[in-house]
């Protein structure tokens, strides 16, 4: 089984930087995903990390430390449209993915 | 990115009836599709994994006779909620693994099921 922890809510200011942390415990780790989900909509893929380190993709970056069971999603130059839930999801074994409860991010002017 | 189409987006049905939800990969072949359920303010919960041409694998606690999954082709999987009850009201989402890019799962738009 898996244990995935992330903060339930965060607030940040437009134009700022925010870091959303995720810790996990799993056997058979097979990658860590971040998804963005707007209310009432399906999640959209943001990133996938399977090796330690930082992956940068535009305003979004994701970091992974397998030894620490830790990941974070970094959002730069925040925009109002970034207000959404951000789901940390852990791959286990072959194809199985388990989602955290999500962090609801509110971006304020 | 690849497109997954899920239909219908919203459905209201009477208690005791059955509802079928379709999940199609429009521009790629999906050997594996996943069905999730999401209750308000909760995480996505994996219900079952559907592989083309074989029986679905259900997660613990999910009744396979109640949630019928059929993955008849590489582009279509269906979830049928049989004898629906109000407690089955939820947001159901499918996702499909892009065959050549197994690290990324593409999600359908989701189906909001309300059982009255």
pLDDT for B51 equals: 84
Q: Which residues of B touch A41 (CB under 8 A)?
A: 109-110
Rounded average pLDDT over A28-53: 90
pLDDT for B100 equals: 60
Q: Which two tokens stand for residue A101?
A: 């409860």
Rounded average pLDDT over A52-81: 96
| DSSP strands (E only) in chain B | 4-7, 10-13, 19-25, 32-38, 45-51, 57-58, 67-73, 76-81, 90-97, 105-107, 111-115
Q: Worst-scoring range by mean pLDDT, A40-49, A78-87, B61-70, B80-89?
A: A40-49
| B102/A95 touch (CB, cutoff 8 Å), yes or no | yes
pLDDT for A2 equals: 61
Q: What is the overall mean pLDDT for chain A?
A: 92
Contact A65, A71 (CB under 8 A): yes
Tens of each residue's pLDDT in chain B, 116 residues: 678 999 999 999 999 999 999 999 998 888 889 999 988 878 889 999 988 888 899 999 999 999 999 988 889 999 999 999 999 999 999 998 876 655 677 889 899 999 99
Whether the predicted pLDDT of A17 surpasses 60: yes
Pairing of strands B111-115, B10-13: parallel
Of residues A42, A96, A97, nearest to B109 (C-beta): A42
Q: Which residues of B touch A45 (CB under 8 A)?
A: 1, 104-107
C-alpha–C-alpha distance, residues A87 and A104, integer Å: 9
Whether the predicted pLDDT of A1 surpasses 60: no
Q: Which residue has the higher pLDDT, A3 or B115?
A: B115
| A41/B97 touch (CB, cutoff 8 Å), yes or no | no
* Residue A87: pLDDT band with limits 50, 70, 90: very high
């Amino acid at each position: 089984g898996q244990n995935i922890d992330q903060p339930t809510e965060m607030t940040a200011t437009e134009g700022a930087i925010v870091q959303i942390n995720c810790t996990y415990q799993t056997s058979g780790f097979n990658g860590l995903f971040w998804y963005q989900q707007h209310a009432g909509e399906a999640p959209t893929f943001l990133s996938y990390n399977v090796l330690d380190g930082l992956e940068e993709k535009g305003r979004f970056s994701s970091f992974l430390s397998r030894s620490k069971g830790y990941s974070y999603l970094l959002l730069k130059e925040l925009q109002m449209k970034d207000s959404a839930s951000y789901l940390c999801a852990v791959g286990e074994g072959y194809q199985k993915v388990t989602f955290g409860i999500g962090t609801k991010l509110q971006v304020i002017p | 990115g690849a497109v997954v189409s899920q239909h219908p987006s919203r459905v209201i049905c009477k208690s005791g009836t059955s509802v079928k939800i379709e999940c199609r990969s429009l521009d790629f072949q999906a050997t594996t599709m996943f069905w999730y359920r999401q209750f308000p303010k909760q995480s996505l919960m994996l219900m079952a994994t559907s592989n083309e041409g074989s029986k679905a694998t259900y997660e613990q606690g999910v009744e396979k006779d109640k949630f019928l999954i059929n993955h008849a082709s590489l582009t279509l999987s269906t979830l049928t909620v049989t004898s629906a009850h109000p407690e089955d009201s939820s947001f159901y989402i499918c996702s499909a693994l892009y065959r050549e890019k197994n690290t990324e799962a593409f999600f359908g738009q989701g189906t909001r099921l309300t059982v009255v």
